[in-house]
Amino acid sequence: MYILLAVALYAAIAYAVTKSSRSGSNTISKDTIRLHLATVQNFALRVRTSIMRMKILDGYEPWQIDYSKTGFTSNTSSNTNCTSSYCKLHDPSGGGIEGYILPQNYWATGSLGKYEFINVGIKGIGDDNQRDLALLYAGVTKDFCLAVNDVSGVTNPSGNPPLDNHGNEGGYAPYSGALSNDVTLATPPDLGVAAPEVAGKTMFCTDNNGGSYYFWVVKQEKYDAPDNKNKRS
């Protein structure tokens, strides 16, 4: 049984940044974000469904999938365990998912709008004793981070995103390169402990390290599927 999480931003959300006529600073229209949340979550659903299909059709476990895409993914190198197009998330013969770079309006730090896949536990999502497969955009702007939380019902303490470093509470592992098996969960979950505001949330943004903002959208899906010994090649 796996919980598959996916995060993505659709191109339409590029219009979510508006210019404040009073302060002259960049702000984000919460109403605009609300209008596009359905599109964002639909994209996340497509990613989740694609990974499920790769499991059910060919028996690929999350650690056997290649999540890399040149020019799009950050800190995600190709998986040498994947030797055909059918185990590649972004290949038309595999997951068939197009890559998406975050619009420049939302870049803040070194990720430059790219995304990465991480094996991390999130408190209150599915089984706390299992890690989750997550896709995130690291390094978004603070204004964007705050707006996402406002729309998602996540409290921004004292006007700042919740501080929760996903690498400090038991560690985490990127789905990058060749893995020999699924990464096990350290206790406690990595996200939602230091910042209870994000526990159980399916869309949120955190302050990862005193000014580095991480945007997450999660979609959970539990399923059991028999291993398929006759993988396509």
What are the structure tokens assigned to 141, written together?
């702007």
Tokens representing residue 167 in the block: 């690498």
**For residues 127 and 122, what is the distance between their CA atoms, to the nearest angstrom?**
9
Task: Write down the domain spans for the chain.
Answer: 2-222
Q: Which of 22, 16, 87 is nearest to 51 (CA)?
A: 87
Contact 214, 166 (CB under 8 A): yes
Given this model, what pLDDT does residue 228 score? 58
**Mean pLDDT score of the chain:** 76
Query: How many other C-beta atoms are found inside a 10 Å radius of the C-beta of residue 229?
Result: 7
Helices 142-152, 30-58: crossing angle, 10 deg rounding: 80
Q: Which residue has the higher pLDDT, 118 or 159?
A: 159
Nearest to 41 by CA among 149, 202, 213: 202
The SS3 call for residue 96 is coil
Q: In the chain, which ranges are E strands?
A: 2-3, 17-19, 26-28, 115-120, 132-140, 173-174, 203-207, 213-217, 222-223
Per residue in 58-93, pLDDT (tens digit) is 888 888 899 999 998 888 889 988 999 999 999 999
pLDDT attached to residue 27: 57
Of 165 and 64, the structure prediction assigns the larger pLDDT to 64
Which residues lie closer than 8 Å to 139 by C-beta, 6 or more apart? Answer: 107, 108, 109, 110, 111, 112, 212, 213, 214
Closest CA to 202 of 219, 214, 223, 222: 219
In this prediction, residue 14 carries a pLDDT of: 37
User: 119 pLDDT exceeds 70?
Assistant: yes
Question: Which range is least confidently modeled, 13-17, 25-29, 98-102, 226-230?
Answer: 13-17
Place of tokens 């994000």: 198
pLDDT of residue 160: 96
Give the span between the Cα atoms of 232 and 94, in whole angstroms: 10
Mean pLDDT, residues 160-182: 75
The whole model's pTM is what?
0.78
- What span, in angstroms and rounded, lies between the C-alpha atoms of 53 and 2? 13
Q: Which two tokens stand for residue 68?
A: 């890399």
Q: Is the peptide bond before 188 cis (omega within 30 degrees of 0)?
A: yes
Q: What confidence tens digit (pLDDT) does each residue in 180-209 have?
A: 776 665 566 778 988 999 999 988 999 988
* pLDDT score recorded for residue 19: 35
pLDDT computed for residue 25 by the predictor: 40
